[in-house]
Structure 1
Amino acid sequence: MDTSLLDIGEVARRSGLAPSALRFYEKKGLIGAAGRNGLRRTYHPDVLERLTLITCARSAGLSVAEISRFLVARPSDADLRVRMAAKADGLDEQIGRLTRLRDSLRHAAVCDHEPIVDCPDFKRAIGNVPAPATTPGGNSD
């Protein structure tokens, strides 16, 4: 056996994924085993990079089918490129919402307004209301 190969338990430990997830990803063609050591699957160490990509894509909301298509994509696959650009736009929107939520939670952690959710600064941070207009002298109306 090649000593550089990792058994399924080691890949699971290093990737933070359950062995069942590794077997599922293998069944779906996202990763491939290099062979077996007895009854245990073995993998080349570069499978960890692939699993990092898969885990990131899954956490961003991509389906296994989308990831599968992406992993074999060629520059000539215009339809896939359009779908991936749309997915990236959706992620930009999600990042904006999460950023607003993070900012509002940080404000809420130090806010003295009662109740906190009625605080104008909290509402502005979450994106519920626009910032007050300022006059040319820099003062609020």
Structure 2
Amino acid sequence: MKNSCASRELSVGELARRAGVAVSALHFYETKGLISSQRNAGNQRRFSRETLRRVVVIKVAQRVGIPLAEIARALQTLPAGRSPTAADWARLSAQWKEDLTERIDKLLLLRDQLDGCIGCGCLSLQACPLRNPGDQLSAEGPGAHWLDAEGREHDG
């Protein structure tokens, strides 16, 4: 019997256990093109050992809120057939750093203004008629409008 540690390939169960994800997550990642497998003679999925690091990168990126589509684009830049290196990870994380900083800024602004007028049009708080007189923000569409695309507060 082959020692799985020495083998270059992992079964779906081994990969799931080593990466700390459900088998169904691996199947989902594969359908989305994030990882790939080969089939053995028994038609069972076999993943290269390099896939383990890819799955861990996916998990880390998801944990910090990076959408799967963005993760997929980033993973497409990695060479096939080898584990992502420290340099690869540095490049990927640099791509995501600006986006994460923007998200953090938006969350901090939301946290700091959560108890005030958020520009939703309800006009129920004392500050709402002053900051959004006559519900002018309704022209911008539904939702809370005090956070713009750059994460800065509107002047109101």
**TM-score where L is the length of structure 1:** 0.53
8 Å contact from structure 1 (residues 60, 91) kept in 2: no
> 3-state SS of the aligned residue for 2:46?
strand
Write the distance in 2 (CA, Å) between the matches of 1:73 and 1:92. Answer: 26
Mapped pair 1:86 → 2:98: yes
Structure 1 residues 73 and 39, CA gap change in structure 2 (3 angstroms): closer
Write the distance in 1 (CA, Å) between the matches of 2:30 and 2:100. Answer: 26
Aligned to 1:68: 72
Identity %: 33
1:1-141 equivalent positions in 2, closer than 5 A? 3-36=7-40, 38-73=42-77, 84-90=96-102, 93=105
Structure 1 residues 17 and 65, CA gap change in structure 2 (3 angstroms): same
> 3-state SS of the aligned residue for 2:65?
coil
AA in 2 matched with 1:69: R
Q: Which sits farther off after the overlay, 24-33 or 35-44?
A: 35-44
Q: Which runs of 5+ in 1 are unaligned?
A: 75-81, 98-141
Structure 1 residues 64 and 37, CA gap change in structure 2 (3 angstroms): farther
Write the distance in 1 (CA, Å) between the matches of 2:14 and 2:103. Answer: 32
Structure 1 residues 88 and 3, CA gap change in structure 2 (3 angstroms): same
Write the distance in 1 (CA, Å) between the matches of 2:60 and 2:38. Answer: 23
Structure 1 segments of 4 or more deviating over 2 A?
1-4, 34-37, 82-86, 90-97
AA in 2 matched with 1:90: E
Alpha-carbon shift at residue 92 of structure 1 (Å): 5.2
Write the distance in 2 (CA, Å) between the matches of 1:95 and 1:5. Answer: 42
8 Å contact from structure 1 (residues 33, 41) kept in 2: yes
Count of equivalent residues? 91
AA in 1 matched with 2:75: L
> 3-state SS of the aligned residue for 2:40?
strand
**TM-score where L is the length of structure 2:** 0.48
Structure 1 residues 39 and 94, CA gap change in structure 2 (3 angstroms): farther
8 Å contact from structure 1 (residues 25, 31) kept in 2: yes
User: Of Structure 1 and Structure 2, which has the larger fraction of its residues in helix?
Assistant: 1
Structure 1 residues 28 and 95, CA gap change in structure 2 (3 angstroms): same
AA in 1 matched with 2:71: I
> 3-state SS of the aligned residue for 1:6?
strand
